[in-house]
Amino acid sequence: MPDLAGKVGLVTGCASGIGAATVRRFVADGARVLGTDLDAARGAALCEALGARFAQQDVADRARWPQVVAQAVEAFGRLDILVNNAGMVSQAGIGDLDDEAMFAAWDKVLAVNLTGTMAGCRAAIAAMRANPGGAKGAIVNIASTTAIAPLPTDVGYSASKAAVRALSKSVATWCAKQGLAIRCNTVIPGATHTGILDAAEVQMPGLIAAVAATSPLNRLADPSETAAAIAFLASDDCPFMTGAEMLVDGAALSIHPGF
Ligand SMILES: NC(=O)c1ccc[n+]([C@@H]2O[C@H](COP(=O)([O-])OP(=O)(O)OC[C@H]3O[C@@H](n4cnc5c(N)ncnc54)[C@H](O)[C@@H]3O)[C@@H](O)[C@H]2O)c1
């Protein structure tokens, strides 16, 4: 089990699903955590119950990022881990909407999933460089198997998650070239039983069973399974892992589509 004792982590999208499971896992592993979410009521209640701090944040608001990072540093004295987990879907294929609605949906999902992740990396790196004892940290960005096998029904989500993979590698290699002990890796979840899928099921009945069947395990991931991979990459267990990706997809992308 990864040891996060003494580490300080910031987890976005903490009110639900993978973010909530990550806060739970980090606290269990000994970390002190600041969770953030758009949803202040749910986020604050969850963090309070788990012994974590909470700050309301829209990850797409770039001015808010340095404030949130400063809040973690003020509370705990340093920042060791950032998990860029907050995300949303747009549920629009390339020709599904009129121009006004399509570009609004595209701009929104890119702002949250991609620009929010980039802004988080920037703010976290600034804080991690200033850590007592020298620059050190781990960033974990959350992509999606739709970055590899995109959804025809959601061009913005798929494209934003594909871009997160390249963003993570660029951040990882920039930090390495700068001589900073700040790693950046990506977790690529497959279908995971969270609010995002429950909401999509309402729009597309039968979706949950269909995506569960894409894994040869024939089930969805539990968010705690994704959180376990995040905790490993956030820990110091493998300092040589940076610019890497971990698939947590129940082998959904490992099987020939005919089987
Ligand atoms: N559930 C899946 O099957 C699945 C698969 C692949 C990737 N993912 C990714 O995992 C991450 C977590 O998703 P989840 O499944 O736990 O979804 P979820 O809907 O259960 O949780 C997402 C959380 O992010 C918050 N959020 C949304 N927009 C925000 C914003 N602008 N600023 C701050 N917080 C915001 C929501 O309030 C919510 O609490 C997302 O990046 C998602 O794309 C999920």
Residue 258's pLDDT is 86
- Tell how far the Cα of 84 is from the centroid of ligand 1, in angstroms: 10
What pLDDT, in 10s, does the model give residues 162-214? 999 999 999 999 999 999 999 999 999 999 999 888 988 998 899 899 999 99
| 157 among known catalytic residues | yes
Residue of 192, 224, 247 best suited for mutating to test ligand 1, as the one with most atoms within 8 Å of CB: 192
Domains, the chain, in order of start with CATH, read 8-249 (3.40.50.720)
The band of 133, judged by pLDDT with boundaries at 50, 70 and 90, is very high
Residue 259's pLDDT is 87
Percent of the chain beyond pLDDT 90?
93
Residue 186's pLDDT is 99
Measured between alpha carbons, how far is 236 from 25 in angstroms, rounded to an integer? 16
**Three-state DSSP state, 26:** helix
Which residues have C-beta within 8 Å of that of residue 35, sequence separation ≥ 6? 10, 11, 12, 14, 15, 19, 23, 43, 46, 47, 52, 53, 54, 55
**Three-state DSSP state, 4:** coil
Res. 2: pLDDT tops 90: no
Catalytic residue among 157, 158, 172, 235: 157
| Beta-bridge mates of residue 83 | 11, 140
Give mean pLDDT, residues 241-247.
98
What pLDDT, in 10s, does the model give residues 88-132? 999 999 999 999 999 999 999 999 999 999 999 999 999 999 999
Res. 1: pLDDT tops 80: no
What pLDDT, in 10s, does the model give residues 3-13? 999 999 999 99
Task: Please write down the long-range contacts of 203-209, taking CB distance under 8 Å and 24 or more positions apart.
Answer: 203/91, 204/153
> Which residue's CA is the closest to the ligand 1 atom numbered 1?
192
